[in-house]
Amino acid sequence: MEDKGRESDHLMLITPERVFYAGLLGRPRKRTPGSCHVYVAVKGSLHLTTDDVQTSDELVVTLPNQRHTIASDYRTVVSVTLEPESMPDGVIEALAERLRGPDKAAYARKILAAYTLLRHRRYGDIATAEFDEMCFGEALPRRVLDPRVMRAVARIGRFSGEPVTADTCAAEAGLSASRFLHLFKEETGISFRSFRAWKRARHLLHFANQDLNLAHLAQDIGYPDSTHFSHSIRRFYGLKPRAIFVGSRDLAIYRSTETVRLAEAS
């Protein structure tokens, strides 16, 4: 689904398992997002700092939950994010190794070509395999989740404002809470609590270019209060919520209608 009425080279395509962003980087502090980030410079170089070690290049990669800062010589940056639960263990690490390898420049050109394509095509209805082909030249392997975990993932992704608890998901799965939590982490590689926290913060992206009351938005997507909301967003994105919204005013947002496994779990 396209966010109408915005003519800008800044865009974001959001699917359940991927995000393609081309827009302002801002001046973020240290950030710890729950997904893999592939950053590509539109012009000049990017400067990535992890564990006080800085890397400068046209393409840099961070793994899920890796604390880092990112700066750019140019105000606009391209970022491709991949959700770790969508792929088998080891796939993201292997992809990161390829992206950092001798074909780095070719991958950077491929992702910038995807940006050009999206600027002209401006669509949101894209399957994960097509997204991966567009950005990396191949469809990445898919993780097959236990149906009970798939239902919990779908429940978390609805963001109806009602709190999603492990007890609720466990009851729906016919398991004890402890057994469900073990199964969830075993299947996704992520703890239930960490997964829920990241997805809640990720859901903010859908509203980033809208003029909203942030306190009301925080409540709508499940935060207990504005303080928790601000703290969580700054932890994941390195920016205050207000800074994200101010920097996204001319951002065109496209939301995929792909439901794949999430809809089947509903």
Average pLDDT along the chain? 90
Confidence tier at 124 by pLDDT (50, 70, 90): low
Question: What's the token pair of residue 101?
Answer: 């390898």
pLDDT of residue 122: 63
161-178 residue pLDDT tens: 677 899 999 999 999 999
Q: Which run of H or of E encompasses 111?
A: helix 104-121
pLDDT at residue 224 above 90? Answer: no
pLDDT at residue 6 above 50? Answer: no
* Stretch 218-227: mean pLDDT: 88
More confident residue, 123 or 172: 172
**First-to-last CA distance in the chain?**
20
Predicted TM-score (pTM) of this structure = 0.91
> Residue 24: which residues within 8 A CB-CB, separation 6 or more?
10, 75, 76, 77, 247, 248
How do 59-62 and 36-41 pair as beta strands? Answer: antiparallel
